[in-house]
């Protein structure tokens, strides 16, 4: 099957993955209104078509948090990517490096950060939740420092897990025992390529970064119980103050959609924020990321780096987000589907498609540098 865009990777991933894994990637919270808005609201962003400009030498590169990037794009933190392809995070980091961009490795990755670092030529960025077990957090921060990681993305929009109906019906919620879940066993056996690549050859299928804190096992069953014990709904800026005492690198808050929260982040000395609603997986009915971006950008007023996550499906969407004030974007589901469909080669192909789409969009709007777009490039919403 020839894949030419995001939808092609999604279709290929759906065919290759067991249903319970695909639903975990594909789904959102409640009735998934925000999940759909994240995509639909991008379509309402209209760009001006400007002509007779020299667009023969397009500049796509940028610099964020002291790192040069070939594209204004990074791979977003995606949990349990090792369930999508064999040792998935190591394949993704190689593809990202090949494209000249960083990955933000999830705390909830299957491959521990040391394994991913060994597979990469240079350090990457890291995602973190503040949890109750501060001893584990101190050790984890030291592991990051030892790996040369200098930028930390703290996810702040998951005080508690959102309600995801798809997971409760047939996904990752509930028992993971194949003896108790004959439907799960049948699902796996009907996808033999995945069963061989991931189920057999991709072991250990554990949450590698938190395994040291889980001496009785770090599989999905134990992981769910660990999350229930350790995710802390009482987290406030006082806890970020504690984090600052143990982390001297860049600190970025991921999960900001409210302008007042953005101003507070500036006042608290954060290095950046990510405008994000967790891919529509937390609060359903909230603003889409792209709809929230302009007010957040205005509130920040150039005082910190602003990134966007959620709903980006093409290079054209990347340009739309940049035109509305984002310094860069995070790609989430796009690389998850590409990885599931074709592994490292799929992620590389997806990024090459995205680059070409961005180049064409820039040329047809008369833009030649992603860092210096026309201020009136995006029309106000009708």
pLDDT tens, position by position, 297-344: 999 999 999 999 999 999 999 999 999 999 999 999 999 999 999 999
Residue 373 lies in a domain: no
Q: Is residue 352 part of a domain?
A: yes
Q: Does 374 reside within a domain?
A: no
Distances (CA, A) of 210 to 129, 226, 355, 379: 12, 9, 34, 45
Q: Does the pLDDT at position 176 exceed 80? A: no
State the pLDDT confidence band at 169, using cuts at 50, 70 and 90: confident
The domain total for the chain is 1
For residue 138, tell me if it sits in a domain. Answer: yes
> The domain containing residue 145 runs over which residues?
6-364
Residue 382 binned pLDDT confidence (cut-offs 50, 70, 90): very low
- Using CA atoms, how far residue 347 sits from 5, 44, 259, in Å, is 12, 27, 33
pLDDT at residue 177, rounded to an integer: 67
For residue 336, being part of any structural domain is answered with yes
Q: What is the mean pLDDT of residues 162-167?
A: 90
CATH number at residue 177: 3.20.20.70
Q: Is residue 348 assigned to a domain? A: yes
Query: Distance between CA 377 and CA 319 in Å, rounded?
Result: 10
Q: How confident is the model at residue 155 (pLDDT cuts 50, 70, 90)?
A: very high
Nearest Cα neighbor of 331 from 279, 270, 272, 271 is 279
**Stated pTM of the model:** 0.96
**pLDDT of residue 15 exceeding 60:** yes
Residue 232 lies in a domain: yes
Is 89 inside a domain boundary? yes
Among 14-23, 111-120, 203-212, 272-281, the least confident range: 203-212
Query: Closest by alpha carbon to 276, among 267, 268, 237, 261?
Result: 261
In angstroms, the CA 317 to CA 273 distance is 19
Instruction: For residue 151, name the pLDDT band (cuts at 50, 70, 90).
Output: very high
Cβ neighbours of residue 292 closer than 8 Å, sequence gap 6 or more? 257, 258, 275, 277
CA dihedral 308, 312, 318, 324 (to 10 degrees): -50
Distance from C-alpha of 350 to C-alpha of 240, rounded to nearest angstrom: 35
- Catalytic residue numbers, as ranges: 278
Instruction: Please tell me whether the peptide bond between 204 and the residue prior to it is cis, using omega within 30 degrees of 0.
Output: yes
Instruction: Note the Cα 18 to chain centre separation in Å.
Output: 21
Q: What is the DSSP string of 246-257?
A: H--SEEEEEEE-
Distance CA 316, CA 336 (A): 19
């Amino acid at each position: 099957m020839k894949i030419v865009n995001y939808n092609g990777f999604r279709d290929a991933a759906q065919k290759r993955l067991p249903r319970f894994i695909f639903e975990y990637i594909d789904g959102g919270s409640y009735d998934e209104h925000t999940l759909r808005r994240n995509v639909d609201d991008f379509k309402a962003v209209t760009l001006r078509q400007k002509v007779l400009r020299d667009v023969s030498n397009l500049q796509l590169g940028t610099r964020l948090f002291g790192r040069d990037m070939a594209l204004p794009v990074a791979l977003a933190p995606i949990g349990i990517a090792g369930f999508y392809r064999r040792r998935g995070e190591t394949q993704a980091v190689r593809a990202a490096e090949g494209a000249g961009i960083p990955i933000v490795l999830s705390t909830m990755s299957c491959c521990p950060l040391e394994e991913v670092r060994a597979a990469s030529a240079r350090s990457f960025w890291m995602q973190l939740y503040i949890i109750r077990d501060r001893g584990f957090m101190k050790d984890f921060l030291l592991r990051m420092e030892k790996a040369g990681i200098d930028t930390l993305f703290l996810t702040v929009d998951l005080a508690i897990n959102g309600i995801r109906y798809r997971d409760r019906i047939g996904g990752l919620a509930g028992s993971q025992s194949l003896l108790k879940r004959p439907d799960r066993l049948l699902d796996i056996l009907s996808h033999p390529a995945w069963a061989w690549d991931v189920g057999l050859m991709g072991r250990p299928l554990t949450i590698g970064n938190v395994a040291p804190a889980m001496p009785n096992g770090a599989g999905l069953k134990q992981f769910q119980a660990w999350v229930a014990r350790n995710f802390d709904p009482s987290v406030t800026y006082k806890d970020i103050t504690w984090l600052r005492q143990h982390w001297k690198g860049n600190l970025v808050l991921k999960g900001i959609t409210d302008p007042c929260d953005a101003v507070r982040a500036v006042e608290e000395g954060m290095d950046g924020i990510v405008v994000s609603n967790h891919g529509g997986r937390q609060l359903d009915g909230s603003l889409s990321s792209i709809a929230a971006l302009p007010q957040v950008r205005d509130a920040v007023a150039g005082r910190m780096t602003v990134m966007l996550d959620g709903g980006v499906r093409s290079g054209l969407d990347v340009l739309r987000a940049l035109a509305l004030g984002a310094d860069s974007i995070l790609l989430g589901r796009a690389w998850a589907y590409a990885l599931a469909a074709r592994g490292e080669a799929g992620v590389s192909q997806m990024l090459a498609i995205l680059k070409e789409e961005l180049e064409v969009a820039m040329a047809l709007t008369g833009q030649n540098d992603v860092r210096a777009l026309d201020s009136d490039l995006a029309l106000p919403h009708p």
